[in-house]
Chain A
Amino acid sequence: MRLVIGIGNPDRGDDAVGLAVARRVREAAPADVTVTELDGDQLKLLDAWDGAGEVYVVDAVCSGGRPGATYRFDASGPLGTRFAHRGTHTFSLAEVIELARALRRLPTRLAGYGIEAATFTLGAGLSPEAEAAAGAVAGQILDELTGGGPRCAWEQSA
């Protein structure tokens, strides 16, 4: 199974950017791809990707970078501390991936995308920067799903 998971809180500004990416991917994804949206409890990822072979996860990050900057990492090897505290929830995406690795519950192939948020204001919509990045990341994931995407360990677009 191939799976795309968007994570976020729909009521907290750019925290919803993962959900926005998921919705864009859903509109154009190949038929064999399942697209799921998750709230801020990252631990649910362990069950969400259970049995999936190829998974893409998208979440907002808050690392002090330029709003709208995008990050990609491949979870085939340990992520180290680079993304450890960049999530916006109790457990960061990287921490849940490492927990899954420890429990041998990682999918065969897992790529993570992070989008630098501009605002987490309650009730706000997406910022223009996050909106643009959501479109770009959705396009990149669709490229990967159709065989044309990146294969590097991780990269950052500034």
Chain B
Amino acid sequence: MTHGSRVRVPGLARVEGEGGLEIVTSGGRVTEARLDIYEPPRFFEGLLRGRAHTEPPDITARICGICPVAYQMSACAAIEDACGVTVPDSILALRRLLYCGEWIESHALHVYLLHAPDFLGYESGIHMARDHPAIVERGLRLKRAGNRLMEVIGGRSVHPVNVRVGGFYRAPGRRDLHGLAGELEWARQAALDTVSWVAGFSFPDYERDYEFVSLRDPAGYPVMGRRIVSSRGLDIGASEYDDHFTEFQVPHSTALHSVLDGNRTYLVGPLARYSLSSAHLPDVAASAARAAGLGATCANPFRSIIVRAVELVYACDEALRLIEGYEPPDPPSAGVPAAEATGYGCTEAPRGMLYHRYRITGGGAIADAKIVPPTSQNQRAIEADLRDFAQARLDLPTDRLTWECEQAVRSYDPCISCATHFLDLRVSPS
């Protein structure tokens, strides 16, 4: 690559949503690496204002077709927090089971159709399917197992309709869930085979010095919980999120960037969850991780495909455990009368921690809402990684460098549709 030039990918393939990538060099140095998110903002926080405090789970589920459950769960957690309601364990267990379905379908999609083609030298999952149809079929069946779990609990897999503040409109019967166990047992074995498969890929030697951030979950490996922890000592409640995390606008993106405690770049998502909580994995997932060569932590973003596969094992195993002990919550939801208060909720979307905050009026209307999706939080880390990654590869031909940088971005499984955000336009006098 010549000095003083640009690598530009106007439309990233195999990511959810619309965004681009730009690397600018000058004098043999990378001066800028930008993840350009140009998908239009969608004003969800604005349109929530004035709506009833019971509506955010349904409205925010529409933000993303891949991870609607994450939006519903964070919304419920925040509103119940505001209203001082603690839902029974049986409802928490059913929520966790629903979340397992989302992790399975989202991770299977990313591992098999979005990420694996990079390691095997294919332009797309379609091209990969021509040479490896049985493997792609395995990925599709895994995804279907997750979708089915979401359909049985949530009513449908895209934008589930059975979730409400306080719990569910209707609890699925034991027989409905036990009927899924056979396919989930197949899925757990398929996930173990997935770990073995992806562990054989070739990975760049690219360890990063991340500050990992995820939830700490009293139920085990982090899916839901009320403490936010980091690998550098952060340990706060969800209600303290705004005291430590700051969002800000950058000119090239419709998604806000986020920093921790002033100016610290951090990473959320599978690498963070694994590195902070691998000790909480059940034996079946932990031994698969060890056999795949993972230690207690993983800071190579390219190896995130192994971590996602390990989380697939976890989600299938956890789903089976929850189904085995399932007792339909009765009633299926707790009452959540409105309270004039602000509530905070965080849960672990497949791509990382998702924060919701709602201020509710005494009349039960949403006065103010804040939503911080994981891809938005990871943008700064992605750009920092890209600068270093590209710098070490500037002697590559431009097309090769472009391809490798695209691969690097896909390692984070960015969901650009989720990240697009309200643009805070201010006009200041000169």
Binding site for B on A (CB under 8 A): 9, 11-12, 39-41, 43-44, 46-47, 85, 89-91, 95, 98-99, 102-104, 122
In the complex, chain A residues whose CB is within 8 Å of the CB of B136: 99, 102-103
In the complex, chain B residues whose CB is within 8 Å of the CB of A103: 129, 133, 136-137
CB-based contact B140/A40 at 8 Å: no
Closest A residue to B159 by CB, please name it: A39
B contacts with A: majority SS = helix
Q: Do A39 and B126 form a contact, CB below 8 Å, given A90-B66, A102-B133, A122-B62?
A: no
For chain B, residues 121 to 145, give those with C-beta under 8 angstroms from any C-beta of chain A: 124-127, 129-130, 133, 136-137, 140, 143-144
- Give chain A nearest CB distance to B341 CB in angstroms: 27
Q: Do A41 and B16 form a contact, CB below 8 Å, given A99-B126, A103-B129, A103-B136?
A: no
CB-based contact A39/B156 at 8 Å: yes
User: How many B residues face the partner with a CB closer than 8 A?
Assistant: 26
- Give chain A nearest CB distance to B133 CB in angstroms: 5
- Give chain B nearest CB distance to A40 CB in angstroms: 5
Task: Indicate the member of A11, A40, A102 with the most B CB atoms within 10 Å.
Answer: A102
B157 within 8 A of A: yes
In the complex, chain A residues whose CB is within 8 Å of the CB of B293: none
Q: How far is the CA of A85 from the CA of B10 in the complex (A)?
A: 13
Contact partner of A102 (CB less than 8 A), chosen from B130, B143, B144, B147, is B130
Q: How far is the CA of A7 from the CA of B400 in the complex (A)?
A: 37
B47 within 8 A of A: yes
In the complex, chain B residues whose CB is within 8 Å of the CB of A89: 65
CB-based contact B65/A41 at 8 Å: yes
Binding site for A on B (CB under 8 A): 11, 16, 42, 47, 62, 65-66, 109, 113, 124-127, 129-130, 133, 136-137, 140, 143-144, 147, 156-159
In the complex, chain B residues whose CB is within 8 Å of the CB of A99: 125-126, 129, 136
CB-based contact A41/B126 at 8 Å: no
Q: Do A11 and B126 form a contact, CB below 8 Å, given A39-B156, A90-B16?
A: no
CB-based contact B158/A46 at 8 Å: no
In the complex, chain A residues whose CB is within 8 Å of the CB of B127: 102
In the complex, chain B residues whose CB is within 8 Å of the CB of A41: 65, 147, 157-158
In the complex, chain A residues whose CB is within 8 Å of the CB of B140: 43, 46
Q: How far is the CA of A91 from the CA of B112 in the complex (A)?
A: 13
In the complex, chain B residues whose CB is within 8 Å of the CB of A46: 140
Q: How far is the CA of A41 from the CA of B129 in the complex (A)?
A: 19
CB-based contact B158/A102 at 8 Å: no
Q: How far is the CA of A102 from the CA of B140 in the complex (A)?
A: 13
In the complex, chain B residues whose CB is within 8 Å of the CB of A104: 133
Q: How far is the CA of A12 from the CA of B144 in the complex (A)?
A: 24
Q: How far is the CA of A99 from the CA of B112 in the complex (A)?
A: 13
CB-based contact B137/A11 at 8 Å: no
Q: Do A9 and B125 form a contact, CB below 8 Å, given A43-B140, A103-B136?
A: no
Task: Indicate the member of A40, A44, A46, A90 with the most B CB atoms within 10 Å.
Answer: A90
Task: Indicate the member of A43, A89, A95 with the most B CB atoms within 10 Å.
Answer: A43
In the complex, chain B residues whose CB is within 8 Å of the CB of A91: 113
Closest B residue to A11 by CB, please name it: B62
Closest A residue to B158 by CB, please name it: A39
New A-B pairs, 10, CB < 8 Å, besides A90-B65, A102-B127:
A9-B65, A9-B159, A11-B62, A11-B159, A91-B113, A99-B125, A102-B130, A102-B133, A102-B136, A104-B133
In the complex, chain B residues whose CB is within 8 Å of the CB of A11: 62, 159
- Give chain A nearest CB distance to B12 CB in angstroms: 11
- Give chain A nearest CB distance to B135 CB in angstroms: 11
Closest A residue to B40 by CB, please name it: A120
CB-based contact B65/A39 at 8 Å: yes
In the complex, chain B residues whose CB is within 8 Å of the CB of A95: 124, 126
Closest B residue to A41 by CB, please name it: B158
- Give chain B nearest CB distance to A17 CB in angstroms: 17
Q: How far is the CA of A90 from the CA of B110 in the complex (A)?
A: 11
In the complex, chain A residues whose CB is within 8 Å of the CB of B109: 43, 90
In the complex, chain A residues whose CB is within 8 Å of the CB of B144: 47
- Give chain B nearest CB distance to A131 CB in angstroms: 22
Q: How far is the CA of A11 from the CA of B58 in the complex (A)?
A: 11
Q: Return 6 A-B CB contacts under 8 Å, by A number.
A: A9-B159, A11-B159, A39-B65, A41-B147, A44-B147, A103-B137
In the complex, chain B residues whose CB is within 8 Å of the CB of A40: 65, 158
Q: How far is the CA of A44 from the CA of B65 in the complex (A)?
A: 13
Q: How far is the CA of A12 from the CA of B147 in the complex (A)?
A: 21
Q: Do A43 and B143 form a contact, CB below 8 Å, given A90-B66, A103-B133, A103-B136?
A: yes
Closest B residue to A89 by CB, please name it: B65
- Give chain A nearest CB distance to B350 CB in angstroms: 13
Q: How far is the CA of A89 from the CA of B144 in the complex (A)?
A: 17
In the complex, chain B residues whose CB is within 8 Å of the CB of A9: 62, 65, 158-159
- Give chain B nearest CB distance to A54 CB in angstroms: 23
In the complex, chain A residues whose CB is within 8 Å of the CB of B126: 95, 98-99, 102
- Give chain A nearest CB distance to B107 CB in angstroms: 14
In the complex, chain A residues whose CB is within 8 Å of the CB of B158: 9, 39-41
CB-based contact A39/B47 at 8 Å: no
